[in-house]
Amino acid sequence: MSTVLAKPPTAEPKAAPSAAEMGARQREISVSEFFTKNRHLLGFDNPRKALLTCVKEAVDNALDAAEEAGILPEVVVTLEVAANGEPAPPASQATRFRVTVIDNGPGIVRQQIPPIFAKLLYGSKFHRLRMSRGQQGIGISAAGMYAQITTGKPVQITSRTGARAATHYFEVQIDTKKNEPRIFESKKIDWDHPRGTQVTLEIEGRYQKGRASVDEFLEQVAIANPHVTLVYHAPEGETRHYPRTIQELPPQPREIKPHPYGIEFGVLLRMLHDTRSHSLAGFLAGDFSRVSTAVAQEICRTAKLSGNARPRNVHGDAAEALYKAIQATKIMAPPSNCISPIGEKAILHGLYKQIKGEFYTAVTRPAAVYRGNPFVIEAGLAYGKGPDQVAAVTKDAPAVPLAEGEDREDDSELARVIRYANRVPLLYQQSACATFKAVLETAWRNYGVAQSRGALPAGPMVVFVHMGSVWVPFTSESKEAIADYDEIRKEIKLALQECGRRLGMFLRRRERAKSEFRRRNIFELYIEEVVEACGRLKGGKLAKEKLKMQLQKIALKRTGGPKTDAILGHEGGPEGLPHSIIVTADGPEGEAPVLPGAEGSAVAPPEEARPEKTKPTPARRKAKGKAKPTRSAGPPRPARPTKAAKPKTKAPKRRKR
Ligand SMILES: Nc1ncnc2c1ncn2[C@@H]1O[C@H](COP(=O)(O)OP(=O)(O)O)[C@@H](O)[C@H]1O
Ligand SMILES: [Mg+2]
């Protein structure tokens, strides 16, 4: 409570308002008015974030719509400085931007365009239980409202539902008092796209590269959505292409009914009231997933209620007994086909495409449930430096490979966590997110990665976490962090632990192999000397080559034999490490994809990853440091690129964390 300085008493103190007067002041608040005042709740708290939120909402919708219609998405994002008649300032100084997102989705029918873009809480996804990026029906319309508040410009929409259909062009704004659309322009136009939607918003914003930028967001979208082709025209004039690496759509998630476990009491009451079933048993079996007639009868028996009771008459104590009986009855976990996980292969491809490293792995957990909502957790790891960096080190010291633990010397940097919910990157409020907490709580030291108490693991590492669910419990409407439910955190930790175990195995094996390899090199140096000395002793009558071969054979055997080569990636695949890629100077091993524009490089073909247990072919050890061209045939990158180091060329390159 704030204290108010006492005013000197005035002549006539104003009478306090009566209840009637106070009552007269009560008024309904429209959602639009509410969110105009509270735009920070929707992710529009500062101009930089607002720019990102607008791009994010439009891209989310484009991808959702195309996927739902069974179309492989192609999305073009354009950011331009909006000059408003004056000469345009450089992008880094500009405060006004025009955001345009074009998709090849199903398009929107004419009469739906105004409410979709100019009415809050209007959408097709809220009332169903199915995984999608948007859920509240408040995304693109909120972006439109932000445009309206900050620049006064209406949202411009162009949409066409097929090559034979007309293209409709609209300019709309929200009437915030009524939360209804106001149409400024509506006409048919010519459009060179056979189908799809284009949205243009003019907003107050700031463009800055780096963490939590539009650039980073789109990069991360490409990681988690390898089936999407994305083109990004950045405001500074450069264009980045993120071509798809997986040519098929993810499986369509199915719509499901709620699962009875963990459903709130109030929700159960509402469902009892609203159901069309005439009997309680019928209601239980019909309105919930995984409740068979037998299970419904069992629940009724446990609750001491008749299966024939009218659902509407079940309230008070009876409803409470029913609620308890539901929780006490064994019911199958909900079907997971309402969720479409990214999948281990796609995560691997995505990480490999965008992030340079030596080791990649991915885990998709089986579906689990929180509050009756099924969800799937997926995790991935990209660890280490890119092969060209490793090769550079090896080249400098060809005879003696890296010293023990050498590649961990510069591990003072902390791991980076990239978080996703229903395939959408989350860039803000990291520390409030269940995924981040789970990363902190995982004991990374067990897997050979340094970690201070309560901190992120240290090292050249990117940790990927994805939660897919029919309803992601965000901490706010701006959808930035996942709420910390125990069930969710536990699943994330299990996924991370599996990734960690694989990483630990890779690191330990490689460490051992490196030390064996080093020993072998030393032996080989001595073998030369020993052979020469023996030759001299024998007065030159020695089959030197034969002796040398014999000694080398012994040295090879004593230093782990061909297995050492295999572990160092000179042969074979990442044995015993499922869903993993290991990158060495000789190229990637495992399920590495072919990256577009990398013809002739050392990349294995996509689908036919080398079988995990191939017999090692006769030694084909390559000269160390003779790295084959890497996937991105660009200029060599600096040993430790800085945070700001971003590709300047057209095709986005795999980047360091
Ligand atoms: N590019 C698009 N193509 C087709 N339909 C779209 C597109 N953008 C939005 N929609 C439709 O408009 C609805 C409202 O979008 P939005 O306000 O972002 O809410 P949400 O995505 O949370 O449902 C969506 O549910 C979808 O049905
Ligand atoms: Mg949306």
Domain 265-328 matching CATH 1.20.1440.230: the answer reads no
The beta-strand segments (E) located in 190-281 are 196-204, 229-233, 239-242
CATH class of the domain comprising 32-242: alpha beta
The CA distance from 333 to 371, in Å, is 12
321 CB-near residues (< 8 Å, 6+ apart) = 303, 304, 305
Give the DSSP H/E element, type plus range, for residue 159: strand 155-160
477 CB-near residues (< 8 Å, 6+ apart) = 41, 42, 136, 138
Q: How far is the CA of 228 from the centre of ligand 2 (A)?
A: 17
Residue nearest to atom 19 of ligand 1 (CA): 137
Pocket test for ligand 1, best of 54, 68, 116, 200 (most atoms within 8 A of CB): 116
Q: How far is the CA of 411 from the centre of ligand 2 (A)?
A: 39
Q: How many CB atoms lie within 10 A of CB 68?
A: 16
Region 402-430: mean pLDDT is: 76
Pairing state of beta strands 580-584 and 587-590?
antiparallel
Better-predicted residue by pLDDT, 558 or 154:
154
Parts of the chain belonging to CATH 1.10.8.50:
265-328
Angle CA 7–10–13, to nearest 5:
105
Atom number in ligand 1 closest to CA 61: 8
pLDDT the model gives residue 544: 84
User: Residue 593: is its pLDDT beyond 90?
Assistant: no
pLDDT the model gives residue 198: 98
Provide the terminal-to-terminal Cα distance of the chain, rounded to the nearest Å.
47
Residue ranges of alpha helices (H) inside 177-238 are: 214-224
- The DSSP call for residue 195 is S
Q: How far is the CA of 63 from the centre of ligand 2 (A)?
A: 10
Residue ranges of alpha helices (H) inside 199-292 are: 214-224, 265-274, 280-287
Q: How far is the CA of 479 from the centre of ligand 2 (A)?
A: 11
Region 439-468: mean pLDDT is: 94
- List, for residues 139-174, the tens digit of each pLDDT value: 899 999 999 999 999 999 999 999 999 999 999 999
**CA distances (Å), origin 307, targets 285, 294, 321, 529:** 11, 11, 13, 91
The CA distance from 616 to 563, in Å, is 8
Place of tokens 């539902």: 161
67 lines ligand 1 (CB under 6 A): no
pLDDT the model gives residue 403: 42
The CA distance from 424 to 435, in Å, is 14
196 lines ligand 1 (CB under 6 A): no
Is the entire prediction scored with pTM above 0.85? Answer: no
Number of H-type helices and E-type strands within the chain: 16, 16
Plot region of 480 (φ>0 → left; ψ -120 to 50 → alpha; else → beta) = alpha
The CA distance from 156 to 514, in Å, is 60
197 lines ligand 1 (CB under 6 A): yes
For the chain, percent of residues with pLDDT exceeding 90: 54
CB-based contact 172:113 (threshold 8 Å): yes
The beta-strand segments (E) located in 450-568 are 461-469
Q: Comparing C-alpha atoms, which of 286, 294, 277, 282 is closest to residue 257?
A: 286
Total residue length of the chain: 657
pLDDT the model gives residue 577: 76
CB-based contact 492:434 (threshold 8 Å): yes
Pocket test for ligand 1, best of 135, 138, 140, 423 (most atoms within 8 A of CB): 140
- List, for residues 16-55, the tens digit of each pLDDT value: 999 999 999 998 888 888 888 888 888 898 999 999 999 9
pLDDT the model gives residue 354: 87
Q: How far is the CA of 49 from the centre of ligand 1 (A)?
A: 21
Q: How far is the CA of 57 from the centre of ligand 2 (A)?
A: 5
pLDDT the model gives residue 568: 67
CB-based contact 168:110 (threshold 8 Å): yes
Parts of the chain belonging to CATH 3.30.230.10:
344-657
Residue ranges of alpha helices (H) inside 95-202 are: 113-118, 139-151
The CA distance from 465 to 492, in Å, is 7
pLDDT the model gives residue 613: 38
Region 3-9: mean pLDDT is: 54
Parts of the chain belonging to CATH 3.30.565.10:
32-242
Q: Say which ligand is closest to the CA of 143.
A: 1
**CA distances (Å), origin 256, targets 122, 129, 179, 484:** 21, 5, 30, 24
pLDDT the model gives residue 125: 86
CB-based contact 358:584 (threshold 8 Å): yes
The CA distance from 377 to 588, in Å, is 26
| Bridge partners, 99 (sequence order) | 79, 201
**Protein residues placing their CB within 5 Å of the ion ligand 2:** 60-61, 134, 139
73 lines ligand 1 (CB under 6 A): no
Phi (first) and psi of residue 268, to 5 degrees: -60, -45
Domain 344-657 matching CATH 3.30.230.10: the answer reads yes
187 CB-near residues (< 8 Å, 6+ apart) = 168, 169
61 lines ligand 1 (CB under 6 A): yes
Residue 561: pLDDT band (50, 70, 90) is: confident
The CA distance from 264 to 272, in Å, is 12
Q: Say which ligand is closest to the CA of 140.
A: 1
| Bridge partners, 240 (sequence order) | 232
Atom number in ligand 1 closest to CA 62: 1
The CA distance from 416 to 617, in Å, is 38
pLDDT the model gives residue 363: 96
Q: Comparing C-alpha atoms, which of 72, 390, 444, 106 is closest to residue 229?
A: 72
Q: How far is the CA of 122 from the centre of ligand 2 (A)?
A: 10
Phi (first) and psi of residue 644, to 5 degrees: -80, -10
Instruction: Please tell me the least confidently modeled range out of 234-243, 408-417, 475-484, 647-656.
Output: 647-656
Residues 382, 387, 393, 394, CA torsion sign: positive
